[in-house]
Amino acid sequence: MPKKPSDWPERNELVIGTVVRVNPYSAYISLEEYGNKEGMIHISEAARKWIKDIREVIKEGQKIVVLVLDVDKEKKHITLSFKRVNKRSAEEKLKGFKREQKAEKMLAQVAKEMGLSLEKTYEEIGFKLQEEFGELFKAFQMSQTQQGYELLIRKGVPEKWVKVIKEIAEKQMEIKEAYLKTSVELRCLKPDGINIIKKILQEAENKNDLEIKYISAPKYYIYLKTKDAKMGERKLKEVAEEIVREINKAGGEGFVR
C-alpha cells in the first residue's frame, strides 16, 4: 500500500478508503493511505439530498473517495465528507492512487537493487520524491528523460538512486511519443531559389532526424516525434531558427511562425 510522509491526513485532503461499518446515521471508513485509520461520515455529509438512512448511498465494502473535514489526533477522530467530492475529483484521485500503487512496486524493486527494505527506501528517498513531485509515479516518469534525470539530482536525490530509478522505470514504464510541429515561411527569389530551399530543408531533415513538409508557398511545417516534449520543443525552435539563418545567408528570407 502506498505510504505517506505523515501518519495523519490533512484537512481538505481527498483520501481513499473502504467502508467497514455502516449504521443508519453514520459510516466508518478505513483510510488505506494512512495505516487503515478510521474516519467517520455523518449522514449529513453523505448526500446532497435528504436521506433517512446513510445506506441509501454508502454500502459496506465500497471503496470511496472522501474529503477530510477535520482531524483530532488526541481523540483519534477523523471527520469525513462523501457529498463534497464531485465525480471528476473522485476519478482523478482513484487514478492517482492506482499510479502510486504501481510506483510503489517499482520503488520496492529499487529497494531490492540497493539492498534495503521498502520502509528504509521510503525514508531515504520515497517521501522526498512525494514531497518534491506530488507523487512517486511522476519521479519515475521523469527519470526517463535527460531533463527529468537532471532535475531529480538538482532536487537533492543522490545520483546512485536516480540511476536505479531510471533503470527500473525503463523496464516498467513506456513513455508515449509526442508529435510536435512548428512552421517556417521561406522565400528565395533567385533563379534557383526553389532548389536552394529544398537543399536547406533536406540538410535540416538529415541532420536532426525530423520531417519537413511543404504546405503552400511560402509555408513549411517541421515535425518531430519525441518522448521528451520540453526538449523536443526546444529542438524544434533551434532547427527552425537555423533554417531561417541558412536561407537568409543564401540570399532569401525566412520567418519562424
List pLDDT tens digits, range 183-234. 999 999 999 989 999 999 999 998 888 899 988 889 999 998 887 777 788 8
Statement: residue 154 has pLDDT above 80: yes
CATH number of the domain bearing residue 104: 1.10.150.190
* 95 and 167 within one domain: yes
* 137 and 187 within one domain: no
* 155 and 93 within one domain: yes
Domain count, the chain: 3
203 in a domain, yes or no? Answer: yes
252 in a domain, yes or no? Answer: yes
* 78 and 93 within one domain: no
pTM: 0.63
* 205 and 160 within one domain: no
pLDDT tens figures, 25-59 = 999 999 988 989 999 999 999 999 999 999 999 99
Q: Taking all residues of the chain, what is their mean pLDDT, rounded to a whole number?
A: 91
Name all contacts of 229-237 with Cβ < 8 Å and 24+ positions apart.
229/178, 229/180, 230/145, 230/147, 231/145, 231/146, 231/147, 232/178, 232/180, 233/180, 235/208, 236/180, 236/181, 236/182, 236/210, 237/182
Residue that is last in its domain, among 123, 141, 172:
172
**pLDDT for residue 145:** 85
5 in a domain, yes or no? Answer: no
**pLDDT for residue 1:** 65
**pLDDT for residue 195:** 92
Q: Counting beta carbons within 10 angstroms of the beta carbon of residue 208, is it exposed (0 to 12), middle (13 to 18) or buried (19 or more)?
A: middle
202 in a domain, yes or no? Answer: yes
* 202 and 162 within one domain: no
* 201 and 159 within one domain: no
1 in a domain, yes or no? Answer: no
**pLDDT for residue 229:** 74
Residue that is last in its domain, among 35, 58, 84:
84
7 in a domain, yes or no? Answer: no
**pLDDT for residue 5:** 78
* 130 and 112 within one domain: yes
Report the C-alpha gap between 64 and 69 in whole angstroms.
Answer: 15
* 231 and 190 within one domain: yes
Identify residue 127 by its one-letter amino acid code. Answer: F
Statement: residue 174 has pLDDT above 80: no
Confidence of residue 63 (pLDDT cuts 50, 70, 90): very high
114 in a domain, yes or no? Answer: yes
* 104 and 43 within one domain: no
* 45 and 107 within one domain: no
**pLDDT for residue 161:** 96
CATH number of the domain bearing residue 60: 2.40.50.140
Confidence of residue 175 (pLDDT cuts 50, 70, 90): low
CATH number of the domain bearing residue 210: 3.30.70.1130
250 in a domain, yes or no? Answer: yes
In terms of residue numbers, what domain contains 118?
89-172
Residue that is last in its domain, among 50, 84, 118:
84
Q: Three-state SS for 185?
A: strand
